Amino acid sequence: MALPSQNEDFPGWYQEVVRAAELAEPSLARGTMVIRPYGWAIWEAIQRAVDDRIKATGHENFYFPMFFPYRLLEKEAEHVEGFSPEVAVVTHAGGEQLEEPLVVRPTSETIIWSTYARWIQSYRDLPLLYNQWANVVRWELRPRVFLRTTEFLWQEGHTAHETEEEAQHEALRILDEVYLDAYRTVMAVPAHAGRKSESERFPGAVETYTLEALMRDRKALQACTSHYLGTNFSVAYGVRFLNRQGQQEHPHATSWGLSTRAVGAVLMTHGDDKGLRLPPAVAPVQVVIVPIYRTDEERGRVLEACARLAYDLAEHRVKIDDREDVRPGFKFNHWELRGVPLRLELGPRDLDAGRVTMASRLTGQKQELPLDGVSTRVAAALEEVQEGLLRDATEFRDAHTFRPKDLGELASLIEDPGGFVVTGWCGSADCEAKVKEETRATIRFLPIERRDVDGACVVCGQPAAEEATWAQAY
């Protein structure tokens, strides 16, 4: 199969690789996808990494229903306004029209906070530190496999706190200790942590924090978000607690989510023209062993040696590709397309010399290793791939980060070569809108800490209030 060049047509390359590598395929209902076992295994690894970190920061998992009455959604004004265009509503069930339509959750703040009203009475009940793994449905106008599907899987955390300070701290802690760390150390994605401008904020949030990563086609991807919700939801759903001074108060909320989009982020950060390149930490197969033989006699001793090799490498996810009906060259390409970090080729020539041939998906280089002590060499090579992918992606990101002098330069950099563009910004929505109109770029993030900046707004020339990072985005 001929892959299109990634640089010429990234989304085409992306969709084709996702299908060819048997990760996922479009399904019958509009904008939904079937996740196949290989793709699911990548998601499982991401899930595990994120869930471990959620638990390490003191949260427990729970589960809430997928349906809730439409009127619940309506209680928080900004929230309905933001989500009502994209919610799916169940109007018929049990063979008749429902008296009250049910929403298929686009996110769960509403149902969770209407329940928190019963759980929270006193400051002693706080904080509530809970998370759920769930599917949600958003009727997006332009779906794209993994990056924006009608139904997607995610975790959503929902916490309640006594004070603004504690809730703010919580939102930022999740961003840093859960998301930034999982993206960096597990997915090898170097993301920027930042704060959203008002126009990009989650509907109902006081502050939205985000991770933004640069994809290989020089477009940005919002990799996850963490929100400080203030008391918007606790007020809307009548959640109050008696504080330490004996007064009624509304708790402060956070919510935060990371979705199956993360799989897309991994693919689009590391992929090359041969297909996927997977960081070992999320690769369903970390080492593939390809036996090479002609005669029955060779077959016997090669397969036996492969089994012994797999045993030596049992601490990794190892697969022996012992298919009889395809030739070695086919297997090489098959596993390269699927992003397997290391390939070990074992044939009579290697066996006679007491060695194995190792090929790295990071560099494409082959080298010969002695079979003795192979496991330490393989472990080191896997680490090298993990680190190398992060290094490559970081270099790529930094090589595509620019600081233009004026709007004209901003526009040309956004267009070609594309990437992150950092400028002064006066803070007005008008200037933000003007850039979008002229370049299709939006503010991806602002620094988390508000601080004084020198220089002028790239649009209007007024003194800058913020340093904004712009990009075209998915």
Partner RNA sequence: CGGGACGUAGCGCAGCUUGGUAGCGCGCAGCGUUCGGGACGCUGAGGUCGCGGGUUCAAAUCCCGCCGUCCCGACCA
Which residues contribute to the site for RNA (CB under 7 A)? Answer: 1, 3, 11, 15, 26, 30-31, 82, 85-86, 138, 140-144, 147-150, 152, 154, 200, 202, 222-225, 257, 259-261, 274, 292-294, 326-330, 332-334, 336-337, 343, 345-351, 357, 359, 364, 366, 436, 440, 473-474
Please say which residue, 36 or 240, places its beta carbon nearer to RNA. Answer: 36
The least CB distance from residue 203 to RNA, in Å, is 7
Which CB atom, from 41 or from 337, has the smaller least distance to RNA?
337
Pick between residue 23 and residue 126 the one whose CB is nearest to RNA.
23
Task: Kindly state the smallest distance separating residue 353's Cβ from RNA, in Å.
Answer: 9
4 DSSP 8-state letter = P
* Closest distance to RNA from the beta carbon of 66 (Å): 15
Report, in Å, the least distance between residue 363 CB and RNA.
Answer: 11
CB of 403 to RNA, least distance (A): 24
Q: Identify which of 217, 330, 337, 329 has the alpha carbon closest to the alpha carbon of residue 275.
A: 337
Among all chains, which residue has been given the structure tokens 């590598």?
Answer: 21
Spatial separation of the C-alpha atoms in residues 5 and 340, rounded to whole Å: 20
What is the C-alpha to C-alpha distance for residues 212 and 400, in angstroms, rounded to an integer? Answer: 14
Instruction: Name which of 413 and 464 has its Cβ closer to RNA.
Output: 413
Task: Provide the strand spans (E) within 331-447.
Answer: 342-346, 355-360, 366-370, 401-402, 420-425, 442-445
Question: 166, exposed or middle or buried, with CB in 10 Å at 0-12, 13-18, 19+?
Answer: middle
| Angstrom distances, CA of residue 200 to CA of 24, 160, 233 | 29, 23, 19
Whether residue 147 contacts residue 153, with contact meaning beta carbons closer than 8 Å, is answered with no
CB 470 to RNA: min, Å: 14
Q: Which is nearer to RNA, 127 or 345 (CB)?
A: 345
Q: What is the DSSP string of 102-162?
A: EEEPSSSHHHHHHHHHHH-SBGGG--EEEEEEEEEE---SS-BTTTB-SEEEEEEEEEEES
Judged by CB, which is closer to RNA: 165, or 368? 368
Nearer to RNA, 30 or 405 (CB): 30
**What are the tokens at 191?**
């993301």
- Contact criterion met (CB below 8 Å) for 96 and 109: no
For residues 78 and 204, what is the distance between their CA atoms, to the nearest angstrom? 5
Pairing of strands 287-291, 318-320: parallel
CB of 372 to RNA, least distance (A): 17
Of the candidates 405, 408, 274, which has an alpha carbon nearest to the alpha carbon of residue 340? 274
Residue 251, both tokens: 């708790």
Q: Considering the complex, state which of residue 151 and residue 166 has its C-beta at the smaller distance from RNA.
A: 151
Nearer of residues 159 and 208 to RNA, judged by Cβ: 208
Closer Cβ to RNA, 359 or 407, answer by number:
359
In angstroms, give the least distance from the CB of 280 to RNA. Answer: 18
Could you tell me which of 199, 202, 197, 252 has the C-alpha nearest to residue 224?
A: 202
Query: Could you tell me the smallest distance in angstroms from the CB atom of residue 277 to RNA?
Result: 13
Closest approach of RNA to the CB of residue 128, in Å: 22
Considering beta carbons, is residue 294 or 308 the nearer one to RNA? Answer: 294
| Least distance from RNA to the Cβ atom of residue 347, Å | 2
For 323, the enclosing helix (H) or strand (E) is none
Backbone φ, ψ for residue 5 (5° rounding): -65, 135
Q: Which is nearer to RNA, 222 or 254 (CB)?
A: 222
Cβ neighbours of residue 358 under 8 Å, at least 6 residues apart? Answer: 342, 343, 344, 345, 366, 367, 368, 369, 377, 378, 381
Q: Look up residue 458 and give its two tokens.
A: 């790239």
CB of 29 to RNA, least distance (A): 8
CA–CA dist 254, 158 (Å, integer):
6
Q: Produce one character per residue of 62-73: b if its CB has 16 or more CB atoms within 10 Å, e if not.
A: eeeebebbbebb
**DSSP count for the chain of H helices, then E strands:** 15, 23
Report how far residue 214's alpha carbon sits from residue 397's, in angstroms, rounded to the nearest whole number: 6
